[in-house]
């Protein structure tokens, strides 16, 4: 990621943070709409899960300027997700739900440059997490 992409992700996320509860609801609603098979991996009461999502996103976004600082936590998270039944092929679906949520949440602020920055950020992190959880060969697919 370029320094400009990091700034775009961070500045756009600061506009989503005030509506974090609504954004988390939108994200999971979209995820379960496009991938209903993953719903069974989540608790019936999603309140705590939505908070965890937004806390994790905030930590990742804030750490993008020093990616090495967030990689140990991302690695641990990826390995925990395996235990929940997550598979490498779920990462693109989660990314699609995240980008859709950001696009809806940011409205006119979702510019091509912001979309590209978020796509790059998610792709970088997802690739790392997949390689940590499942090995390098699946991350390359």
Q: Give the pair of three-digit tokens for residue 137.
A: 């060969």
Ramachandran class of 107: left when φ > 0, alpha when ψ lies in -120 to 50, beta otherwise = left
CA distance 42 to 50: 11
CA distance 63 to 67: 6
Instruction: Please give the model's pTM, rounded to 2 decimal places.
Output: 0.90
Per-residue tens of pLDDT for the chain, all 141 residues:
899 999 999 999 999 989 999 999 999 999 999 999 999 999 999 999 999 999 999 999 999 999 899 999 999 999 999 988 999 999 999 999 999 999 999 999 999 999 999 999 999 999 999 999 998 655 545
44 phi, psi to nearest 5 deg: -65, -40
Architecture of domain 3-139: Orthogonal Bundle (1.10)
Q: What is the chain's length?
A: 141
């Amino acid at each position: 990621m370029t320094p400009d992409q990091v700034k775009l992700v961070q500045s756009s996320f600061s506009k989503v943070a005030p509506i974090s509860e609504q954004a988390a609801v939108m994200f999971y609603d979209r995820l379960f709409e496009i991938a209903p098979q993953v719903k069974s991996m989540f608790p019936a009461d999603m309140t705590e899960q939505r908070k965890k999502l937004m806390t994790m996103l905030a930590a990742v976004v804030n750490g993008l300027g020093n990616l090495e600082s967030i990689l140990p936590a991302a690695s641990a998270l990826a390995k925990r997700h395996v235990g929940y039944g997550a598979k490498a092929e779920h990462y693109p679906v989660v990314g699609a739900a995240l980008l859709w949520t950001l696009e809806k949440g940011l409205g006119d602020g979702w510019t091509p440059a912001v979309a590209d920055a978020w796509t790059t950020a998610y792709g970088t992190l997802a690739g790392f997490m997949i390689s940590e959880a499942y090995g390098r060969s699946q991350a390359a697919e």
